[in-house]
Structure 1
Amino acid sequence: MRVPPLEFAALLRQHRSTAGLSQEELAQRAGLSGDAVAALERGRRRAPRPLTVRLLADALRLEGEARAAFVEAAWQPAPADRPTPRPTPLTPDEFIGRAADLAESIRLLNETATRVLTLTGPGGVGKTRMATEVAAAMRASFPDGVHWVSLSPSSNEPAVTAAIAAALGLNIPRDSGRLDLLAEHIGARRMMVVLDNCEHVVDVAATLCVTLLRRCPALSILATSRELLRVPGEVIQPVPPLARPHAARLFITRAGSHGVDPPEENLAHIDAICERLDGLPLAIELAAARVRILTIEQIADELSASTRILSSGVRTAPHRHQSLHAAIEWSHDLLDAEEQRFFAVLSVFSGGWTMPAAHAVWSSVRPGASWAHAVDLSARLADKSLIIVTRDEATARYGMFDVIHEYAADCLTENGLRSPAELAHLSYYAQLAVDAEPELNEPDRWIRLRELDAEFGNMRAAMRRALSHQQHEQALRLAGALYPFAYLRGYYSTGRAWLETALAAARAQPQSPEPAMLAKAMCGSGYLAFLQCEYDVAVARLEAAVELYRQHSDQQGTAVSLRYLGSVARERGAYEQAEDLHRQSLAIYAEHSDDTGSAWARHHLAFVSWLQEKWTAAREYSTVALEHFERVSDTEGIVGSLVNLGAVALYTGDLDTAETRLRRALNQACEHGFHEGVAWAQNQLGLVAWSRGQLDTAAELLDASLAEHRELGDRWRAASVLEALAAVAHAHGQTWRAAFLLGAASAVRNQIGAPVPVCEQPAHEHTTQAARDALGEDQFSAAWASGQNTPLHQI
C-alpha cells in the first residue's frame, strides 16, 4: 500500500534517520551543502529544486513507492493551496446509441494489452461524450483513479504537462524536468488518464504518452482526437456517426428538451434531417435546437440546401461546438497550407472517389504533383478524420461526410480553385466513361458496371460541369459513352436526359460535333426513348443514327441501330417489319463474323416469334443464342434467352420447364442488378403461378414486376402486367378490380400506341368478357373508366 505523502521536511528527516546519516553525511553523499539539508529539514525551503530532490533520493537510496512519495512531497503546496484532482465531467443528457461501441472500449481496456486507446473521428461525432462513459465504466478497474484532462486550452508542452499534473492534484514547479517528475509521481500506480481533445497538440501529446507509458507500467491512457497519435501500441477505435434509429431518437430527445414533442407524422422529416447530417450527434443536436423557432418540416427544408442554420447550441459548450461550421473550422485550421488546398480540391468529387481520381485532379490543379504526394496528403486527411476510407476487396475508396464536404466546397471557391478543379474532374470522368464503354458490351460487363455504380454521383457532377463550363463536346462524349450503363442499370430517364441535353447544346454550336460521336448519342437517345415507349422519338433518333453510321461505313453501329429499330416495331405490333430489321442486323453481324452480335439478333428474332405464337422458331432462335451466351458467360444474354425459352414453355403448357428456366433467369438478373431481366422474369413467373392456380404467389410476383417496370419507365410491359393482374383479380373473385385494371392497361396502350401481343390476346379477351358478364355493362364500364382515368403511378 502506498503511504500518503508527508510534509517534505518531516519525510526527509525520517529517511535520513532510517539511513543512519547525519545532515552533514547526507549532504556530502548528495553533493549538497550542510546548510541546504538543514534548511530543508527545518521547512525554511518549501519548494526544493527537482535536481536537489533527485540527488537526495539517490543519496538515501530510495526506490519504488518510497521514492515516488518522497518526490511527490517535495511538490506539495500548503494544504489550502493544493489543487483538487479533476473528476470525469458529469453529463446530464442521456447516452444514446453507443452501447456496442462502449462495450468494445471496455473490452479493449480490460481484456487486452491495450495501454493507449484513441477514440477518433470528425468534429461533432461524440468522442468526448463517449470518453466520459468509458471513464465512468472503468473506475473500478483502476484503483488509483481515472483522471480527466481537457487539453482544449493547452497549446504547448508546458501547458499540457501542467494540465495533466493539475488533473492528478499536483502542482509541478516551473523548472526543468516536469515530465520526469510526473512519471515519478505516477510510478507503478494503476491509473487511467483521459486526454480529451489532443488534435491541436498531437505531437506533444504523442511524446508525453510514449514517455509515461514507458516509465509507468500500470498506466493506461484514453485519448480523444480528430487526428491519430501514432504512438507504439496505440489502438484506434473510430467513433462512428449514429445509426438511423439512434440518430432519430437523439433528435427527438433533444427537441423534447426544447419543449417540442414531435408528432409521428414528423418522423419522415426527422429521418431526412438525420440522413442529411450523416448521423453526427453535434449536428443533430444543433438542428434540434432550432425547433424553438422553426417547424421540423422547415428545418428539413433548410438543411436540404445548406447547414448554415446549425449554430447557437449549448451556451456553455466550447466555441468549436457552438456551430457546425466552427467544429469543422477547428479541424481545418490545424491543416498546413498544402493540406488545406488538397482538402478543398477533394470537394469536386460527389459520392466518393478513388486514389487515381484524386491524383488526376490534384496533379491538374497542382502540376507535377506525384502519386506519392496525393497518397501522403490523403493519409494526412484520413488521420485527421476529414476523409473516410472504405475498402471493397482490393479497392480503397474515399469520401467525406456531407457537412464536411459542404465546408470544403466553400474553401474551394475562396481559394479560386473551383474552375480548374471542376474541369480536371470532368476530363477524368469523361475519359473513364469512354474507356468503360467497350467493356459494357462484353460478357464480363458486370465488373465495369460495379465500378460505374460507385461513380454515378461523379458522372452526374461531370455532366453538370460539362454543360456549365460549355464543354459541349465533352458532354456529348460523356453521355454517349454512358447510355449502355443507363440501360443496364435502369436509369432510362437520367441517361436520356443527359443525351438530349448534350445533343441540344451541341446543335446550338456553330461547328458540328464529330459524326461518330453524334451517331452514338443519337443511337443511345433513341434506344432509351424506346425503352420508355416514346416510339416516334425513338424511330427519329435511330433512323438518324443509321444514316450517320452508313455514311461513315460503321457496320457495327448500323447493326445495333437496326436491332433497336426492330424492337420498336415489335412493341408496336409490326411483327413483319421487326423480323425484317432483325434479319438485316443478323446479316451484318454474320458478314463480319460477330458471333455475339449474331446471338443478340437471334435473341430478338425469338422474342418477336413467341409474341406471335411461333413457338418452334422462337425455341430454335433462343436455343442457338443461349448456347453462345453461355459459352462466353454473357449474363445479360443468358437471362434474355432463358426468359424467351421460359415463355415458350409457359405458353405451350410445360410449366415445370418454364419455372426452372425463369427461376434461373431471375436469380442471375438479381445477382448482377439487371433490372429489366428481373422485371421480365417476375412477370413470366407470375403467369406460371397463375396457370397453376397459385393466385397469391401470382399476385406477389406480378406486383413486384409492375413496380420494377414502372420504375424503369417501361409502359409497354407494364400494360401486360396490369392485364395479367386483372386475370388474377378475376380468379380471386375481385371482378370490379379486374375491370379497373383492364381499363388502366387500355389507357397505357392508347398512350403509347401498342396493341396487346398476339400470345396474350386469348387471356385478355377471356378476362374482359368474364368481367363484363359478371358485372354487367354499366358497372363494367364504370370500373373500366375509373382505371383509364387513374395514372399508372397511382395503381
Structure 2
Amino acid sequence: MSGRNEIDDFAGLLRRHRLTAGLSQEELAEKAGLSADAVAALERGRRRAPRPLTVRMLATALNLSEQDFAVFTESLRRSPSGYTPQLQGPPLPPDTLIGRAAELTELTSLLGHGGVRLVTLTGLGGVGKSRLAVAVSNGVGRQFEAGVCWVPLAARPDGPEVTDAVAAAVGLRLASDAAEIDALAEHIGARRMLVVLDNCEHVVETCAWLCTVLLQRCPRLTILATSRELLRAPGEVVRQVQPLSVPPSRAAPEEIRDADAVRMFLARAAAHGVHPRDERLLQVSRVCRSVQGIPLAIELAAARVNVLTIEQIADELDSSSRILSGGSRTAPLRQQTIDAALDWSYNLLSGEEQEFFEAVSTFSGGWTLPAAVAVFCPEATDACHERVLDLTGRLIDKSLILVDREAAEARYSMFSVIRQYAGRRLDDGGRRATIEQRHLLHYVELAETAESSLGTGQQSATLNRLDTELDNLRIALGRAISRELAVESMRLAAALWRYFSLRGHYSEGRDWLESALRIARAGPEPVADPALAAALKGAGFLAHLQCEYSIAAERLEDALAIYRRLDDAAGAARTLVHLGSIARERAEYDRSHQLHLESLHLYQQLGDRAGIAWARHYLGFVSWLRMDLDRARDYSEAALTYFQQAGDGEGITWSQINLGSVALYDGDLPGAERLLHQSLGRAQRLGFREGVGWSLNQLGVVARRQGRLERSIHLLDESLAEHQELGDKWRAASVLEALASVAQQHDNSGYAAFLLGAASAVRDTIGAPVPQCERPDTELTTAAVRDKLGERAFAHAWGAGQATPLHAVADGYPPDDTLSTLDAPW
C-alpha cells in the first residue's frame, strides 16, 4: 500500500462505510451527534486522530459489526502521526499594485516593530484590503525567519473551521479534535512567524478569540488581518484602507494621469484593448470621481469599455451604480459586482443594523447624530439616542459608515456606491416615504431655527452650519416640491431665503420659493397666511437683488397686504424695507426715504432695536446715494453702534460700506479706504458676497480718485465679476461706468465708450438710472470720451457696448471682430 493510501486508511474506510450505509456526510453527522464539518474533516484527512468516543459514535451510527469496528480502529494506528510541515504562503499577485506606496511603507514598518503584533486592515468591500495584504506579505518575508503564512477565510462558513484553516496553513495536522488551539499554539511556539487572516468579517468573533489566544501563547507571532469589521482584540492596531486618490474636477491632463484611480482605470481599460487619448482624460476623471476611487468599482467600470464609451460610463454612474458588474469569472462571487460585494456586508448585519443602514441613506452630504435620531426614530427619546449612537458605532466598525471628527461635532457619511445600495434596500423594504418625511421635517425645523440666528452674533456659525447641510436642505426641498407638499415646501423655502441671499444664491433661492408658491396656489387647501407672506417677502427680496423690480414689487406688495390684514407690524416693517430698496435703485429717493421712515416708525412702536438699526441703515444708504452726506453719516453711525453691540456681522459690514461711501463722496479718501478695507475683510470672512462686491466697487472708485489706475482696474474687475455672478445688474452697471472713467484716464477712449454703452444697455433693461452721487463722474467721462473720439467713433463704440451681453463684458474685453478699430482694453 502506498504512503498516501496508508495515511488515508481511516478516512477511506469512513467514506466507504458511509456510502455503504447510504448516508450523506450531514446525515451521518446527525446520527452520530457530530457536526457535518467534523465528518468532512475526518474524511478529508484534516483530522488525523479523533477521540475514541468520536470513533465509537461513528461506528454506532454506521451500524458496524465487531469485525468492521476492529479494522476501523486499527486503521488509526497505521496512520502516521508525523509529516513534513509546509507553510501556505501568500498568493502571487495577478498584476502590479497601483498606488499604495505610503501604505506599504507604513505597514512594513509596523509589522517589523516588536511592540505591534496584531494589525487589522479594514475598509469597505472592494477597497483593496486583500490586494494590499498580498503586497505587504510578499514584501516582509525576510523579517520572519519561520515564514509568512496566508489563511484565506472567505469560504469558511462558520467559526470552528477557522482554527482548522490556520492549522492547515501553518502545516499542522491536528491530532485531536478536543485540543485544537493547544496543538496550534504549541506548533507555532516561539517561532518568528507572520500569519495573515484574510476576510475575517463573517467569523470576526472567532478570529478575535483565536488571535487573542495565539498572541498570548506564541511570543514571536505577528498577525495581519483583513476585515470589513474590526476584530476588537487586545493590542489590535487598525489601519483603514482608503480608496485610491482621484483628481480634482478641474485638473490638468498631467495631474489626471498621475492620480492613482485614473492609473488603475487606464491599466484595466488597456487590458480590454482601449487606450483613451488625452482629450478623453476628463471623462476618465469623471468616472473615477463618481466611484470615489474604490478599486473594485474602478475595475468594474473599466470592464464596460468593451461596450460603452467612457462618456457613457460616466453618464450612467452619475445616476446609478448598476453598471458596476461583469467582473472576473474567477473572482469570488462577491467581487463580480458592486452589489454582490455589498450584499456580503449587508447580510452580516442584524435586522436593526440593516434598518438603520437603510434609513441613513436618505441623507446627502453627510449627517449628524441628532439628524440620524430624527430619521430613524419615531420619537427622539434618550433611549433612541443611545440606540442610534450604538448602531452608528457598529456600522463604522463594519466599514459601512465614515466618520469625520475634525469639527466640534462628529459628522457621518457614506461612499456614494454604498449610499445607492442602501437606498435600493430601503425601497425594497417599502419604508422610503416614512423615512424621507422624517428627514424633511428635521431639516424644516433646522432651517427655521437657523433663520432666527441670522442677524445676531451667531450669524457666522449659523451660515457655516447651513453651508454644511446645504445638500440635505436641497434634497429636502426637492422632495417637498416634487410631492407637492405645500406647507413643508413653503416653510423650508421661506426659512432659507436669507441664507440664499447672504451666500449669493439668488436664482436658486427664488426658484425654490416660486415653486413653493405655485404649489400653494394650486393646492386644495390654503396655506396659512404667515407662511405665505414670508415666502412672498423672500421671493420679492431675491427678485429685487436680481433687479427684476416689477416682479419684486408685486411679491412684496402682496406680502405687505397679508401682514397688514394680520396686523403683523414686524412683518409689515420688514416688507417696507424691501420696497424702499426697490425705490432706491430706481432713483425714486423721496419714495424710498418715506418707505424706510414708515418702517422705522413701526420698529420703534415695537421696541425692536435690531429693526430700528436696519431701518436707519437703509435711510443712510438712500441719503448718500442722493448726496445728503451729513444725514447719511448720522443714520449710519447710529446703526453701526447697535450692530457692534449685537455682534451682527452683516450689519457692521453694511454700515462700514455706508460710512466709507460717505467719506469717499465727501473727499476723505484715506478715511474711505480704511473703512472699506474693514468692510471687505469682514465680508470675506463671513462669506457675504454682496458685501464683498460693494466693498471692491467703492475701493476701486477710491483708487481711481487717488490716481492709482492699475489698482483701480484690479478692484473694479473683481467687483464686476462678483456682481455679474450674483445677478446684480444695478451695481454691475455702476461698476462698468467706473471702469469707463478709469479707461478714459488711461487714454483708452474707445474702450471707455464701449463700457459706457454696455452700462447703458443694462440700465435700459432694468429701468434704473445712474445714482445721483455717481452722475457727475459718469457725465464727465461721457463728455470727455465723446470729445476725444468724435461723434461717429463714439457712436460706433457705444453701440458695440450696447450690443454685447454683460457676461461677455465681464470677461474683460470686447469681441475683436466687433471692435477691431478700438483700443485694446487697458
- Short-chain TM bin: 0.7 to 0.9
AA paired with 1:152? A
Residue 746 (structure 1) shift: 2.3
AA paired with 1:385? S
- The answer on 1:465 being equivalent to 2:468 is no
Alignment TM-score, normalising by the size of structure 1: 0.86
How many residue pairs are counted as aligned between the two chains?
Answer: 728
Match of 2:384 among 349, 359, 370: 370
> For residue 98 of structure 2, what is the aligned residue in structure 1?
95
Residue 721 (structure 1) shift: 2.3
Contact 1:353 1:399 in 2 (8 A): yes
Deviates more, 1:705-714 or 1:493-502: 705-714
> For residue 293 of structure 1, what is the aligned residue in structure 2?
307
Correspondence 1:315-326 to 2 at 5 A = 315-326=329-340
Correspondence 1:670-681 to 2 at 5 A = 670-681=684-695
Contact 2:51 2:177 in 1 (8 A): no
Residues 121, 743 of structure 1: CA spacing in aligned structure 2 closer, same or farther, 3 A cutoff?
farther
> For residue 398 of structure 2, what is the aligned residue in structure 1?
384
> For residue 698 of structure 2, what is the aligned residue in structure 1?
684
AA paired with 2:558? A
Match of 1:85 among 77, 83, 88: 88
Correspondence 1:372-521 to 2 at 5 A = 372-521=386-535
Match of 1:213 among 199, 212, 215: 215
Residue 644 (structure 1) shift: 1.4
> For residue 229 of structure 1, what is the aligned residue in structure 2?
231
Residue 578 (structure 1) shift: 1.0
Residues 172, 785 of structure 1: CA spacing in aligned structure 2 closer, same or farther, 3 A cutoff?
farther
AA paired with 1:404? I
Residue 160 (structure 1) shift: 1.9
> For residue 104 of structure 1, what is the aligned residue in structure 2?
106
DSSP-derived class of the 1:279 partner: coil
CA distance in 2, matches of 1:463, 1:374: 25
Residue 536 (structure 1) shift: 0.6
> For residue 155 of structure 2, what is the aligned residue in structure 1?
153
Residue 88 (structure 1) shift: 4.5
- The answer on 1:581 being equivalent to 2:595 is yes
CA distance in 2, matches of 1:242, 1:748: 49
DSSP-derived class of the 2:275 partner: coil
1:466-493 per-residue CA deviation (whole Å, 9 max, x = no partner) reads 2333421122122112222222222222
Residues 368, 669 of structure 1: CA spacing in aligned structure 2 closer, same or farther, 3 A cutoff?
closer
DSSP-derived class of the 2:121 partner: strand
> For residue 568 of structure 1, what is the aligned residue in structure 2?
582
Structure 1: runs of 5 or more not aligned: 1-44, 53-72
Contact 1:363 1:369 in 2 (8 A): no
Match of 2:181 among 179, 182, 200: 179
DSSP-derived class of the 1:439 partner: coil
> For residue 626 of structure 1, what is the aligned residue in structure 2?
640
Residues 515, 210 of structure 1: CA spacing in aligned structure 2 closer, same or farther, 3 A cutoff?
same
Contact 1:146 1:194 in 2 (8 A): yes
DSSP-derived class of the 1:220 partner: strand
Match of 1:251 among 261, 265, 271: 265
Contact 2:46 2:174 in 1 (8 A): no
1:516-575 per-residue CA deviation (whole Å, 9 max, x = no partner) reads 111111111111111111111111111111111111111111111000111111111111
1:569-601 per-residue CA deviation (whole Å, 9 max, x = no partner) reads 111111111111111111111222222111111
- The answer on 1:302 being equivalent to 2:305 is no
Match of 2:610 among 596, 613, 636: 596
Contact 1:743 1:784 in 2 (8 A): yes
Contact 1:563 1:585 in 2 (8 A): yes
> For residue 239 of structure 1, what is the aligned residue in structure 2?
241
Residue 217 (structure 1) shift: 1.7
Contact 1:426 1:462 in 2 (8 A): yes
CA distance in 2, matches of 1:552, 1:356: 36
Residues 477, 121 of structure 1: CA spacing in aligned structure 2 closer, same or farther, 3 A cutoff?
same
Match of 1:129 among 118, 131, 149: 131
Contact 1:258 1:291 in 2 (8 A): yes
DSSP-derived class of the 2:452 partner: helix
Match of 2:537 among 523, 526, 535: 523
CA distance in 2, matches of 1:689, 1:792: 24
> For residue 69 of structure 1, what is the aligned residue in structure 2?
none
> For residue 115 of structure 1, what is the aligned residue in structure 2?
117
1:33-78 per-residue CA deviation (whole Å, 9 max, x = no partner) reads xxxxxxxxxxxx99975999xxxxxxxxxxxxxxxxxxxx98643x
AA paired with 1:511? E
Contact 2:47 2:176 in 1 (8 A): no
CA distance in 2, matches of 1:409, 1:524: 34
Contact 1:716 1:749 in 2 (8 A): yes
AA paired with 2:526? S
CA distance in 2, matches of 1:539, 1:132: 69
Deviates more, 1:577-586 or 1:173-182: 173-182
DSSP-derived class of the 1:364 partner: coil
Residues 556, 282 of structure 1: CA spacing in aligned structure 2 closer, same or farther, 3 A cutoff?
same
DSSP-derived class of the 1:352 partner: coil
Match of 2:763 among 744, 749, 760: 749
DSSP-derived class of the 2:119 partner: strand
Match of 2:326 among 284, 305, 312: 312
CA distance in 2, matches of 1:397, 1:507: 38
> For residue 719 of structure 1, what is the aligned residue in structure 2?
733
> For residue 330 of structure 1, what is the aligned residue in structure 2?
344
DSSP-derived class of the 1:620 partner: helix
Residues 242, 617 of structure 1: CA spacing in aligned structure 2 closer, same or farther, 3 A cutoff?
farther
CA distance in 2, matches of 1:231, 1:502: 54
AA paired with 1:228? L
CA distance in 2, matches of 1:250, 1:542: 56
Contact 1:609 1:615 in 2 (8 A): yes
Residues 705, 313 of structure 1: CA spacing in aligned structure 2 closer, same or farther, 3 A cutoff?
farther
Contact 1:50 1:177 in 2 (8 A): no
CA distance in 2, matches of 1:697, 1:139: 64
1:371-402 per-residue CA deviation (whole Å, 9 max, x = no partner) reads 21222211111111111111243311111111
Residues 744, 201 of structure 1: CA spacing in aligned structure 2 closer, same or farther, 3 A cutoff?
farther
CA distance in 1, matches of 2:336, 2:288: 19
Residue 438 (structure 1) shift: 1.6
CA distance in 2, matches of 1:553, 1:379: 51
AA paired with 2:464? R
Residues 532, 359 of structure 1: CA spacing in aligned structure 2 closer, same or farther, 3 A cutoff?
same
Residue 639 (structure 1) shift: 0.7
Alignment TM-score, normalising by the size of structure 2: 0.83
Match of 1:195 among 186, 194, 197: 197
DSSP-derived class of the 1:192 partner: strand
Residues 741, 518 of structure 1: CA spacing in aligned structure 2 closer, same or farther, 3 A cutoff?
same
Residue 244 (structure 1) shift: 2.4
Contact 1:344 1:412 in 2 (8 A): yes
Of all paired residues, the percent bearing the same amino acid is 52
Residue 250 (structure 1) shift: 3.1
Residue 773 (structure 1) shift: 4.5
CA distance in 2, matches of 1:584, 1:394: 44
Residue 734 (structure 1) shift: 4.6
AA paired with 2:496? L
DSSP-derived class of the 2:197 partner: strand
DSSP-derived class of the 1:224 partner: strand
Deviates more, 1:765-774 or 1:462-471: 765-774
CA distance in 2, matches of 1:405, 1:784: 55
> For residue 20 of structure 1, what is the aligned residue in structure 2?
none
Structure 2: runs of 5 or more not aligned: 1-44, 53-78, 248-258, 812-826
Residues 216, 544 of structure 1: CA spacing in aligned structure 2 closer, same or farther, 3 A cutoff?
same
CA distance in 1, matches of 2:731, 2:81: 86
- The answer on 1:280 being equivalent to 2:294 is yes
CA distance in 2, matches of 1:298, 1:393: 38
